[in-house]
Structure 1
Amino acid sequence: MTKPVLIGALFLSGIVSCWAQTGNPPPQGTNVPPVGNVQIGTCLESTCREAPVRENLSAIDLHLKYMRGILGGFRQGAGLGGGVQFTSANAIRHVELRATALVTTRLYQRYDLEAFAHDILDSRNTADVWFSYLYRREDNFFGIGPRIPQTLETNFALQQRSYQGTFTRDFTDHIQAGLYAQIANARAYRGKDKNDTPIDEIFSPVPEPTPVLWAPGLLSNAKIVSYGAFFEYDARDNSSGLTRGANVYGRIASADGLKNHDAFADYGWNEAELDGRLYIPLGSNKTSLALRARGSFKDPKGGSQIPFYALSWLGGHEYVRGYRTYRFRGNNSLLFSTELRQTVYAKTEQRGVDLVGFADTGQVWGDARSKTDPVILKNNDFSKSNWHSGVGGGIQYRHSKNIAARVEVGRSNERTLVYVSLSRGF
């Protein structure tokens, strides 16, 4: 794992040094947002989380004190998502209670009950605790490894109930770090897409007799406790035209399985995630070069396993376009993306239409399911033959600093795919 980590670290170092040479970070606004809505880079704390899963939900002002609209809230593959969030606003000093209900165009569901506390000892400390129920109906699964064939395509459903909490400190207007912990209980079973062969008719919940078809965590409850730390440097600026600036994110964590009345509960791994992004204006705020490098590294503890749905992955509109979502899974993944963005119509400083051209490449590696099976052992290789790449382009409509819509077409050696998302891309 040393070589890939070094590649990712060098790229992230380059992002920071390049940004340092482009000038001072963009100034932050001086207006104080409403309770619980502290501005960090391009993100409001009320709708952004850095752990256990990094996510950015866009809040929509409904001009109602105790309710706001929400866009997003789901990892890729779920369709377009959104819903409503009910909040206590400033009724309780230093604390905001929230209840959120989200659904997607593919009928994925999520419900959160949350307590967000701010100004803990001083104005730069926040804490967030919440319960979450997540239901994903039909995520793709092709198997584990960098060269798994498309012929094994199937899908699975996942239900997860989790309790988690974070403590975050904003050290400056652009730098924050924190700690988190989570207990999650998840079950993976047959997906709702009847066009595929059912997952349990191809893959097995046990390693014998065919280890290469073993999907750890299939048809059983996996109860996982995890904890870790994260940091983010966010100097992105969406105030005028295309995004410019830089963003660097990192997270380290440890996860362990808990006994949960199932025959197999030997889960455990250490993990690290690095994600660096650089946005370089080319002559004006209407032309930009966007660069991204992301690494996800998961190291099983001893002979323990990682549930197949918790592995690192590639494929989809955020992780090598031109491949199906979650096309490749393994312990580790490394991704590089480049986009050339050009504004072709500007209605206001923040609202406009852009054309985008992109190139992505990445690979997965690492497989702990067997120490002797030759096919599985080959999955551990970080190899030049395991890179998967896609190219393409698209159009983007920016409605505001935080809300945008994209349509992209990506082509790989496997197929050409169309992606629709409510985002500015990476």
Structure 2
Amino acid sequence: MRRSSIAWLPVAAALLVLARAHNAQAQESAPPPDSTAAPTGSGIGIAYWGVIPPASDSVSVTFRGRPMPVWEGMLVWPYRVITFPLRLLSDGIGESVEFLDEKRVIYSVAKLLGPRRGPFGAVLELSAGGLPGLGGGVALEHDAFFGPRNRFRLRGAASIRGHRRLGLGMQFAAGDRGELVVGAGFRERNNARYFGLGPFTQAEDSSFYRQKLAWGGASYRHNLGSSLFLTGDVLFSAIGTGLPRDDDDPPITLRFAGALLPDGFGRYSHGVSFGLSLSHETATETGRPRKGGIRRLRAAYYRGLGDDDAGFWTYRAELQQFVRLWYRNNVLALRAHLTWLDPVGTTSIPFQRLMTNDDPDLMRGFRDFRWRDQGMVVFSAEYRWPVWVYQRPEGPGLDLYLLTDIGQVFNDFDQISVDNLAFSYGIGLRLLTARGLVLRLEYARSGEDAVWRLRTDQIFQFARGGLFHGRDPVPIR
């Protein structure tokens, strides 16, 4: 094993432990090899890294063609030079994984820490980096909850920085084309951040506050045919803010004292929202989609209760598209969304309900809550390619990807400008099993910060089953 790959051993070990644990059941039902499986000849074994060989039922394949023209070489060779470090990185990860696999290290640890069989399936959740810091949790799932098409999910997680969350979701079949989802949850963040409002805030204006969110509601989703889905939902939510912990400095009351304190600080905003969404969904895969996409329009109305007299409409348009490039499993993932909160009457919207760069609308080179206002527009792109797969080209494995996010917040559409856009870029690893995405590790940079995150969710295909999975419903997305 080359020394260059040793540095990747801890990361590869942590990721592949989960891969082996989740693949234990998938192996029992895996189809037998046939002409559509990738070759497993000498020197390859059961795992691949780098470009996955195409399926072939021939003993050998010989390629003959014309030499590369000069003009084509002028385009190809700069590309190869630029991507050479990434190819070295892919090779290093692949060799590290194979070394651990041969020594049965991954198998032994996965057998110790993997999910146990029982009435519920248990899924481990991990987090690191960003505001939560190091944390973890577990989600208990049942896929036949009082019926073959019913599901149950109970989720709990905590982190060393005082983040805590609980979520309960139940999904019931409603005829051949419908599904009813009931969910509730709680989330506490002791080190939420506030920089002010608008696209012109400065990084040095960072301040901290405590945020608590509780919610409960129901949604009904109906299949209209032709990949069209109509969803209606009703949700009660209460979100409160207060002073942070003593070691989170400076507090919001010091940085934004007196009249500078945002509206809504120090009190609970609680009310009911009613929403309607229309989506066109052609991306059926959840782990490694190679084609199709999601187009979604949403409108929701929020009305405060009791002392909360706020009322506003939320309008959102979102587009996701997956495009295969060059190789079968090399994919360009694109996502764009625009959200606008329109207040009703003269009352202002509490700052904790405004749009901000938080899950799933991250700007990954910036800390969570870095930007905040009534409107938000973001474009995200990822170029993904597999660097290691288990047993077959379409099987579980690791994907490496380049990422970029560009966008801004605004309180008037006239503020949307190239000069006001914030830009970030980075690199990431995605761990996939037979059940889809399990883990992502990302490192992203911007002009003011560098952020790395370890998460068990993703920003793509995030809207599916949000209430069932216990995802934050505030702000309305």
Q: Same fold (TM over 0.5)?
A: yes
**What amino acid maps onto 2:326 in structure 1?**
G
Task: Note if 1:164 corresponds to 2:217.
Answer: yes
The partner residue of 1:65 within 106, 114, 119 is 119
2:156 alignment partner, one of 85, 101, 115: 101
Picking from 210, 230, 244, the partner of 2:291 is 244
2:262 to 192, 215, 219: 215
Give the letter for the 1:421 counterpart: R
The number of equivalent residue pairs is: 343
Which residue does the alignment assign to 1:45?
none
Q: Does 1:277 align with 2:320?
A: yes
Name the SS for the 2:253 alignment partner: helix
User: Counterpart amino acid of 1:355?
Assistant: L
**Could you say which residue in structure 2 is the equivalent of 1:306?**
349
Q: 8 Å contact 2:428–2:441 — kept in the other structure?
A: yes
Does the 8 Å contact 1:239/1:350 carry over to 2?
no
The within-5 A match list for 1:38-53 is none
Once the two structures are TM-superposed, the CA of residue 216 in structure 1 deviates from its matched residue by 1.7
Question: How has the CA–CA distance of structure 1 residues 304 and 173 changed in structure 2, closer, same or farther, with 3 Å as cutoff?
Answer: same
Residues 424 and 91 (structure 1 numbering): CA distance in 2 closer, same or farther, change over 3 Å?
closer
Q: For the structure 1 residues 294 and 309, does the alpha-carbon distance in structure 2 shift closer, same or farther, using more than 3 Å as the test?
A: same
Higher strand share: 1
What SS is found at the alignment partner of 2:245? coil
Residue pair 1:333, 1:362 contacting (<8 A) in 2 also: yes
Q: Out of 183, 197, 204, which is 1:130 matched to?
A: 183
Q: CA deviation at 1:340?
A: 1.6
Tell me by how many angstroms 1:307 deviates. 1.8
Contact 1:361–1:387 at 8 Å: present in 2 too?
yes
Corresponding letter in the other structure for 2:384:
R
Spell out, residue by residue over 1:166-215, the C-alpha distance to the aligned partner (whole angstroms, 9 max, x if none). 111122384322111112222111223724211222235xxxx63xx231
Deviates more, 1:250-259 or 1:93-102: 93-102
Higher helix share: 2
Q: Tell me if 1:180 matches 2:233.
A: yes
State percent identity of aligned pairs.
Answer: 22
Residue in 1 that maps onto 2:370: 327
2:432 equivalent to 1:398: yes
Structure 2 stretches lacking a partner, 5+ long:
1-113, 461-477
Q: Which of 432, 450, 459 does residue 416 from structure 1 map onto?
A: 450
TM-score by length of 2: 0.64
8 Å contact from structure 2 (residues 286, 437) kept in 1: no
TM-score, normalized by length of structure 1?
A: 0.71
Please say if residues 164 and 181 of structure 1, whose CA atoms lie closer than 8 Å, have aligned partners that are also in contact: yes
Which structure is larger by alpha-carbon Rg, 1 or 2?
2
1:84 aligns with 2:131: no
Deviation at 1:162, TM superposition (A): 2.2
CA distance in 2: counterparts of 1:174 and 1:312, whole angstroms? 29
Structure 1 unmatched runs, 5+: 1-59, 368-378
The question of whether the paired residues in 2 share the 8 Å contact of 1:316 and 1:322 is answered with no
Aligned to 2:339: 296
Q: Which amino acid aligns with 2:230?
A: A
SS in 2 for 1:64: coil
Change (3 A) 1:421 1:243: farther
Q: Which residue of 2 aligns with 1:358?
A: 403
Shift of 1:294: 1.0
Structure 1 vs Structure 2 CA RMSD: 3.2
**Is the 8 Å Cα contact of residues 112 and 132 (structure 1) preserved in structure 2?**
yes
Alignment partner, residue 259 of structure 1: 306
Whichever residue aligns with residue 401 of structure 2, its letter is: V
Deviation at 1:155, TM superposition (A): 2.0
Change (3 A) 1:85 1:315: closer
Q: Residues of 1 paired with 2:430 and 2:149: CA distance?
A: 38
When residues 315 and 361 of structure 1 are mapped into structure 2, their CA distance, relative to the original with a 3 A threshold, is farther
SS at 2:117 equivalent:
strand
Matched, 1:200 2:247: no
How far apart are 1:252 and its partner, in Å?
Answer: 0.8
